Copies of this chain bind each other. A is one copy, B any other.
Amino acid sequence: MKYPSKIIKQKQTNIEFANRGMNLENDLNSTNEYYLEKNIAIIHKKPTPIKLVKISFDNEKNAKINEAYFQSPSTTDYNGIYQGAYLDFEAKETKTKNFPLANINKHQIFHLNKIIEHKGIAFLIVRFSKINETYLIKGEDFIEFVNANTRKSIPYSYFKEKCFLIKENYLPRLDYIKIVQSLYFGGNYEKNN
């Protein structure tokens, strides 16, 4: 049986889109659930912003959205509280060797900058999915890199040298709070340990 090439292309795109970034998101969600259960930190993923176009109503309680579109986020995906402090981060997964800066929009950079200015804890979690390594990069370092460089991506070597490898475990999956504790609340965290 022959399919028109257009249909096949569309199917492949669906699968790609559906899986994109889901592994890191799932790992972070399960980590945040663990932190909540163990009373370590209260961190939630914000819902994806959606522009509603058409809504129908059976009654006031049963609204059905018939047409809507994903919106570009103006802030980061995750925020919450740890040790009384405000904590805010964006998480991105990339299949490329280096981290493309196009992954983070200018509103998000503005937002991270603002959080730092207001004495919050801001960072990015970046996963290189091909080699399965996940790094925490401090917001301060990320913004410094963006301002000092005309490059369109942050090289993997930068992460290797200056950022903090988050080891994968069974529970919690990605213990990034350990790194936050050491970076912002004292104690030493050995890079890439």
Q: Which residues of A contact B (CB under 8 A)?
A: 10, 13-14, 16-17, 36, 39, 41-42, 44, 46-50, 57, 59-60, 63-70, 74-75, 79-88, 111, 114-115, 117-120
- Copies of this chain, how many? 2
User: 8 shortest A-B CB distances, which residue pairs?
Assistant: A84-B119, A81-B86, A65-B68, A47-B49, A86-B86, A47-B47, A81-B120, A81-B118
The contact sample of 14 A-B pairs, CB cut-off 8 A, is: A42-B114, A42-B115, A46-B46, A63-B69, A64-B68, A68-B68, A80-B86, A81-B88, A81-B118, A83-B118, A84-B118, A85-B86, A86-B86, A86-B87
Alpha-carbon distance between A118 and B43 when the two chains are bound, in angstroms: 11
**Contact partners of A48 in chain B: CB under 8 A:** 47, 50
Closest to A51 in B: B65
Not counting A13-B57, A84-B119, A85-B86, a sample of 19 additional A-B residue pairs whose C-beta atoms are within 8 angstroms of each other reads: A13-B60, A17-B60, A36-B114, A39-B117, A42-B111, A42-B115, A46-B47, A47-B47, A47-B49, A48-B50, A50-B50, A50-B68, A65-B69, A66-B67, A68-B68, A79-B79, A81-B120, A82-B118, A86-B86
Distance to closest chain B CB from A181 (angstroms): 14
Whether A65 and B50, one on each chain, are in contact in the complex, defined by CB atoms closer than 8 angstroms, is: yes
Distance to closest chain B CB from A60 (angstroms): 5
**Contact partners of A60 in chain B: CB under 8 A:** 13, 16-17
Distance to closest chain B CB from A6 (angstroms): 11
Alpha-carbon distance between A16 and B63 when the two chains are bound, in angstroms: 12
Whether A69 and B79, one on each chain, are in contact in the complex, defined by CB atoms closer than 8 angstroms, is: no
**Contact partners of A65 in chain B: CB under 8 A:** 50, 65, 67-70
**Contact partners of A14 in chain B: CB under 8 A:** 57
Out of B57, B75, B84, which one reaches A85, CB within 8 Å? B84
